[in-house]
Structure 1
Amino acid sequence: MRAQIDMRPSDIMSQVNAKYNIKISYMKAWDARRKAIKTIFGGRKDSYKNLY
C-alpha cells in the first residue's frame, strides 16, 4: 500500500487471490484499503494536530 497509494479495491482483491488463493468481497478489500491508509497517514484527528 505504501508503494501504490492509489491501489483500487479490485487490485487488492486480485492480489489476495493470486497470493493466498482466497476470494474476498469488494467491501472487505475497501475496508482493508481504508485501514491501511489510516495506519500509514493516521486518522483525521492526527492530521488536525499537525496543523498550525
Structure 2
Amino acid sequence: MSVCVGVRGAARVVRSALLEPAATLDGVEVTAIAAREPERAAGSTLSSVCRSGS
C-alpha cells in the first residue's frame, strides 16, 4: 500500500517537517506542492528530497 501526499503551501518549514521525513518512509510519496506564488512551488525542494518511482 502506498500513500501519495500533496502539499498546499511552500513555506520553508515544509522541507524539514514533511519532505525529509516522507523521504525516509517506504510507501509514502509527496507528489505535488501548490503555492499562491507558482515560482515558490516550482522552486521547492521536492525533487531533491523525495525519492522518485517508489
Q: TM-score range by the shorter chain?
A: under 0.3
TM-score (norm 2): 0.27
Higher helix share: 1
TM-score (norm 1): 0.27
Larger RCO of the pair (alpha carbons < 8 Å, separation 6+): 2
Structure with bigger gyration radius: 1
